[in-house]
Structure formats: structure tokens, C-alpha cells
């Protein structure tokens, strides 16, 4: 068998030399036909010398060309050491999925035709199915599934429960995980019945807000992140590290409600004569969708402000915090517990990672904060901005590592 193999390889090399020396099309086709005949003969004999060339990656989904240049996990490098052993399907119905996929995991949310976006970490292939996909699209053959759902308001729960109940119909399911936008008043007890320890299917839960059910074992706290569903982009750090001074000391753009702390904040800015230093733009009604113009204005103001003021809403945690950090504008956060059902340790996901933010208990502290800002040199402010941008980069890196580690524990 060895002599026969060597003879075939030697003959193929000789035939290639003949192809190079003969230019006629008919001769080339005849020679190629003979080579193919040799290579397909004796099919029963295992070709151990060419095993590496015959690795089958046919089942790996196509990678969108726009992904490859931006991937933080190089797909081709991972494929060179063998195909992934495990596939995890991520099904998202909310913007938190896009934020996690693109901003934290480093994936690309661009889809090509009907194929999911993909990302490979070690021997795990992640397939991301965005908000355009429905419950009916879930494959019953899925073995590992992560759902990203909305539990923020009571009216959302029936649809969220439908997705969780869908897990019971997956005949090959081996592990299920959940990432949830939690209730803003931290009332998430309805979720406990779905946990593995309570007879459910969920082995790990990542949840937003300071809910007391977080135990850092089966339930972990996850950041709310930026509002990707409203078009907030992935930051370009090279543009944010400019040594130029910014136009505004602070900003507040948002919806104000009668009797709210937001209304109180605007009044403090006006009565303390801070409007010359802070950009303020308010509206009376909240709008679910941003226009292209309003989003561009919002991003531009963040990029031109040293500080971004973040008054409480229904919860202390909001998109503005992460959007400001992403744009190098230090969040000034009203650090007040908004519900008796929430943990008295506010903003754990940020404070436990030493977020370089400014916290206030009352907006009457703002004039003194601005006075301190005016004593800082431009160099000090620029250095603080660089530190904030680096902190946010490391924050996302730590969450990425936590995400992979927690899922790998349960595979």
C-alpha cells in the first residue's frame, strides 16, 4: 500500500509538470481526468497521509464578510485547530441582546440573508438570532440555548413566559440559560420557578437592576447597557481620546415629569446660573424611538461634555450611564434607592468594579461639583477622560470573561 501511495503522489507531480508545459485545453482536460481517476480509485483504503486536508467544516455557518475584520475572536484562527464541539443558540427579543452580543462579546450584529451572526470562543460556536426572529424559528433540535428576554413590566411577562415554556418542547435540550431585563422595581420572584434548582430548566440567569434574588451563583447581575434598540452605536475609542477640551462642563437631555427629580435638577441648574456651563434640553413626553437627527445630537452632546447628569427614573440604573461612559463623559448619578424591593446596595454591577463615576444624594450638590470642575486643569480633565474610557473597555472585557466562564461551567 505504501509503494502504491508513493507511486500515485509521484505520478500526480509529473502530470502537473506536463500541464504546465502543454498549453492546449484538450490536453489539460485529459490529464485532469486521469488525475481524478487515480485519486478516486481504491476508495476503501484510508488515506492517512492526507487526513489533515480532509477535515470537514461543511456544517460551520457562513461568516459575514463584514464580521471578519471586526471580530475580537478571530474565527479563522479557531477553525484552524478544529471545528467547535458545542453550539449555543442565542435568541433575543430585546436590545439587551444586541448590546451584549456586539458591545460586550465583540460579535457583529450584521446578518446575511436569514443566517444568524456567529462567534467562536474556544470550542464553542455561538449563533446569534436577533429580534427579527420569532418563537417559531427556534429549532427543536437545539441542545444549548440562551434566551434574552424582557421582564421589565407586568404586561411583558406573558410573552416572556411563552419563550420560557418553549424550552420544554426542545427534545435535545441539554442546558438552557436566560438573560433578562428585570423589573425596574426589582420584583422578579416569578422567575424562581424556572430555575434548575426548583425543577425548571434554567441553569444560569443574568439579570439587570439591583434585584435581591441575585446570589452570584445561579443568578448573576448584568448591566442594562446602552440603548442599541434606539440606534446607539459602538464607540470609536480612537476618536474619543482626543486631547481637545470639550465644549460643555455637563449636560442633561431627557424627559421631565411633574414632581420628579429630573424637574428638580433642571431647576437647580437654572437657579444656580449653570446654564452657561451645562447643555440642557428637555421634553415632556418620552419617545420610544429616536430620529436620526435626535440621536446624532445626543451623541454629539455626550462627546462634547465632561460630565453627564443622570437623575433617577423608575430605577437608578439607566441607559444614559453606559452611553456617557462609552463617549468619555463622566456620569454624575443620583444614587438613591428607588424601590423597597431593590437591594440597599445600589448599582452593584458598577460599584463592585470601581466605576470612576460621581455619585450624589441630592442635586443641590451640583453647584459645588461644577466649582470643583472649574479648578481642574485641561490636562487633568483629559487624563480623567482617558481613564474613564479605559475603565469602560476593561469593564466590558471582564463581563465577557464572566459570561464565557459561567456558560462553560454548565456545558
Model pLDDT for residues 288-328, shown as the tens digit of each residue? 667 889 899 999 999 999 999 999 999 999 999 999 999 99
150 is written with which cell numbers?
Answer: 424582557
Apex 407 CA angle, 402 and 411, nearest 5: 150
For residue 280, is pLDDT > 90? Answer: yes
pLDDT of residue 32: 39
Report, as an integer, the average pLDDT of 141-164. Answer: 95
Which of 101-115, 187-201, 268-282, 357-371 is the least confident region? Answer: 101-115
Distance (Å, whole) CA 197 – CA 163: 19
101 is written with which cell numbers?
Answer: 452580543
The closest alpha carbon to 222, from 181, 177, 192, belongs to: 181
pTM of the model: 0.79
Q: Beta 330-334 vs 305-310: how paired, if at all?
A: parallel
CB 216 within 8 A of CB 352: no
69-83, 169-183, 276-290 — which one is most confidently predicted on average? 169-183
Which of 49-63, 88-102, 245-259, 329-343 is the least confident region? Answer: 49-63
For residue 238, is pLDDT > 90? Answer: no
Q: Beta 144-150 vs 202-207: how paired, if at all?
A: unpaired
Helix (H) or strand (E) run with residue 88 in it: strand 86-92
Q: Please state, for a pLDDT cut of 70, what percent of the chain lies above it.
A: 77
For residue 53, is pLDDT > 60? Answer: no
CATH domain 229-395 topology: Rossmann fold (3.40.50)
Report, as an integer, the average pLDDT of 388-401. Answer: 97
Report, as an integer, the average pLDDT of 249-273. Answer: 95
For residue 111, is pLDDT > 60? Answer: no
SS3 of 92, please? strand
For residue 100, is pLDDT > 80? Answer: yes
Report, as an integer, the average pLDDT of 173-185. Answer: 97
pLDDT of residue 34: 41
127: left (phi over 0), alpha (psi -120 to 50) or beta: beta
For residue 239, is pLDDT > 60? Answer: yes
Same fold flag, 85-222 and 229-395 = yes
Report, as an integer, the average pLDDT of 194-211. Answer: 97
Helix (H) or strand (E) run with residue 56 in it: none
pLDDT of residue 6: 38
**Burial class of 289 by CB neighbour count within 10 A (0 to 12, 13 to 18, 19+):** exposed
Q: What burial letters (b/e) apply to 339-378, b meaning 16+ CB within 10 Å? A: bebbbeebbebbeeeebebbbbeebeebeebbeebeeeee
- Sorted by where each begins, the domain ranges of the chain are 85-222, 229-395
Give whole-number Cα distances, 262 to 258, 281, 308, 312, in Å.
9, 12, 13, 7
Report, as an integer, the average pLDDT of 252-264. Answer: 93
DSSP 98-137: HIIIIIIS------BTTBPEEEEETTEEEEEE-TT--GGG
Report, as an integer, the average pLDDT of 165-178. Answer: 96
For residue 79, is pLDDT > 70? Answer: no
Q: Beta 330-334 vs 358-360: how paired, if at all?
A: parallel
Report, as an integer, the average pLDDT of 199-218. Answer: 97
Greater pLDDT, 111 or 119: 119
pLDDT of residue 240: 81
Q: Beta 117-121 vs 248-255: how paired, if at all?
A: unpaired
The closest alpha carbon to 222, from 177, 257, 261, belongs to: 177
pLDDT of residue 177: 98
CATH architecture of 85-222: 3-Layer(aba) Sandwich (3.40)
DSSP 339-389: -TTS-SSTTHHHHTTT---EEESSGGGHHHHHHHHHTS-HHHHHHHHHHHH
Amino acid at each position: 500500500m505504501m509503494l502504491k501511495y508513493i507511486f500515485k503522489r509521484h505520478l500526480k507531480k509529473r502530470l502537473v509538470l506536463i500541464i504546465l508545459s502543454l498549453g492546449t485545453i484538450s490536453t489539460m482536460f485529459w490529464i485532469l481526468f486521469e488525475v481524478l481517476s487515480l485519486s478516486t480509485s481504491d476508495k476503501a483504503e484510508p488515506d492517512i497521509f492526507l487526513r489533515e486536508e480532509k477535515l470537514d467544516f461543511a456544517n460551520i455557518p457562513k461568516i459575514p464578510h463584514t464580521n471578519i475584520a471586526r471580530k475580537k475572536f478571530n474565527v479563522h484562527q479557531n477553525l484552524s485547530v478544529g471545528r467547535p464541539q458545542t453550539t449555543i443558540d442565542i435568541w433575543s427579543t430585546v436590545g439587551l441582546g444586541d448590546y451584549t452580543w456586539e458591545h460586550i462579546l465583540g460579535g457583529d450584529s450584521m446578518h446575511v440573508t436569514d443566517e444568524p451572526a456567529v462567534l467562536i470562543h474556544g470550542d464553542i460556536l455561538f449563533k446569534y438570532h436577533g429580534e427579527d426572529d420569532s418563537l417559531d424559528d427556534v429549532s427543536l433540535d437545539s441542545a444549548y440555548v440562551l434566551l434574552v428576554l424582557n421582564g421589565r413590566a407586568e404586561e411583558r411577562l406573558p410573552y416572556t413566559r411563552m419563550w420560557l415554556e418553549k424550552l420544554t418542547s426542545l427534545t435535545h435540550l441539554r442546558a438552557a440559560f436566560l438573560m433578562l431585563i428585570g423589573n425596574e422595581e426589582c420584583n422578579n420572584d416569578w422567575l424562581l420557578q424556572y430555575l434548575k434548582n426548583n425543577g425548571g430548566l434554567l441553569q444560569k440567569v443574568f439579570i439587570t437592576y439591583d434585584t435581591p434574588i441575585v446570589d452570584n451563583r445561579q443568578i448573576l447581575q448584568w448591566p442594562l447597557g446602552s440603548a442599541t434598540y434606539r440606534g446607539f452605536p459602538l464607540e470609536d475609542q480612537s476618536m474619543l481620546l482626543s486631547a481637545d477640551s470639550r465644549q460643555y462642563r455637563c449636560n442633561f437631555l431627557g424627559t421631565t415629569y411633574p414632581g420628579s427629580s429630573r424637574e428638580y435638577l433642571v431647576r437647580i441648574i437654572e437657579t444656580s446660573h449653570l446654564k452657561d456651563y451645562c447643555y440642557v434640553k428637555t421634553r415632556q413626553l418620552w419617545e420610544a424611538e429616536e430620529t436620526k437627527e435626535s440621536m446624532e445630537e445626543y451623541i454629539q452632546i455626550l462627546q462634547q461634555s465632561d460630565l453627564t447628569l443622570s437623575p433617577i427614573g423608575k430605577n437608578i440604573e439607566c441607559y444614559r450611564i453606559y452611553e456617557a461612559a462609552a463617549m468619555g463623559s463622566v456620569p454624575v448619578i443620583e444614587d438613591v434607592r428607588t424601590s423597597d424591593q431593590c437591594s440597599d446596595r445600589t448599582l452593584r454591577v458598577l460599584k463592585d468594579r470601581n466605576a470612576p463615576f460621581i455619585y450624589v444624594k441630592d442635586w443641590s450638590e451640583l453647584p459645588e461639583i461644577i466649582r470643583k470642575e472649574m479648578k481642574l486643569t485641561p490636562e487633568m480633565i483629559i487624563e480623567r477622560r482617558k481613564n474613564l474610557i479605559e475603565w469602560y473597555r476593561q469593564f466590558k472585557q471582564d463581563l465577557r470573561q464572566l459570561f464565557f466562564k459561567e456558560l462553560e461551567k454548565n456545558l
